[in-house]
Amino acid sequence: MIRLLIVEDSQVVQELLYYIFSSDPEIKIVGTAKDGIEALEKAGQLKPDIITMDINMPNMNGIETTKKIMGTNPIPIVIISASYHTKDVEHTFNAMDAGALAVLSKPTGINDPDFENVAKELISVVKAMAEVKLVRRWTKPDNSSNVNGLKIIERKQNIPKIKAIAIGASTGGPIVLQKILSGLPQNLSVPILIVQHMSEGFIQGFIEWLNHSSSIHVQLGQQGEIPLPGHAYVAPDGLHMGIDRNGRIDLVNDKPINGLRPTVSYLFRSVANVLGENVIGVLLTGMGADGAEELKLMKEKGAVTIVQDKESSVVFGMPGEAVKIGAETYILSPENITSLLTQLTNNIN
């Protein structure tokens, strides 16, 4: 039984969340709180397995509350936000800096045609995040993988010219992407294409949040745009993103793949077919199996493929599925992914 504390200042939304989560027999709601101060008290008293956290609250907002909880007695926290204004969404992602694991949109009501899908996503993510018993911030040196200049130089003759990096991520991905992008050099010699699973309405704020900490310029992918070196392009809401035969960004409104649009699978298949061995594929933390088979396709076409290691992944679903089928060239921590991407692009090109 998963013990859940709901933190939400709106009585209407609080009751709606209570209705959604209480519908699952594996979730027990142990309490509710209307602001950050009450949340801190109840988190200590009730000792929940997971907390859903509002951002804009009186007395103490969700960011400060998350910081205090993570700084004293860490508990997995999922942010549930209603505001899609870019600046507000940026503040929402600041809660991930404080240790929150995921950001989801608030349900609008049981009469909404998409209510059932939103409810399923909320339940699915909360149940998955409740299993994360320790929030790792990747501050320790990682000795699990030996990535150094000598190893890459030895492989030099086998690595063709890199023309792009393709990255896929889902649950837990935003903070890892921030870590990777902030560590890459401004003069990176190739563009980066990114698919990050995210609730609709949060992408632009997510991009602005990334731009605050990265020397890589991050922007929304635009139809027909030529990807530039040192720039990262994020797939927009509701569209698959790939590249066409001329190397331009291609956005399509094809049917969802495994219920997802955009998907990592579409991006990886696209770059595999167009760029072949001249691309690097990176699959990060996330639930499910999106991108695993297509990462293997990339490897079969000669591309270097990287998956995030289990220790640093919030959810080892997507990278774990890739490892099961042998889709990876390397299994690495976020720090070592950054190091390898820098070496492969700047040393080889």
- Alpha-carbon distance 283 to 272, whole Å? 14
In 3-state terms, what secondary structure has residue 52? strand
CA–CA dist 345, 349 (Å, integer): 6
* Continuous H helices in 214-327: 264-275, 292-300, 317-324
- Please state, in angstroms and rounded to a whole number, the distance separating the CA atoms of residues 269 and 272: 5
Token digits of residue 240: 């698959």
Rg of the chain over Cα atoms, rounded to whole angstroms, equals 20
**What is the C-alpha to C-alpha distance for residues 318 and 331, in angstroms, rounded to an integer?**
13
CB 349 within 8 A of CB 190: yes
φ and ψ of 207, to 5 deg: -65, -45
Token pair, residue 287, equals: 């639930």
Active site residues: 170, 197, 290
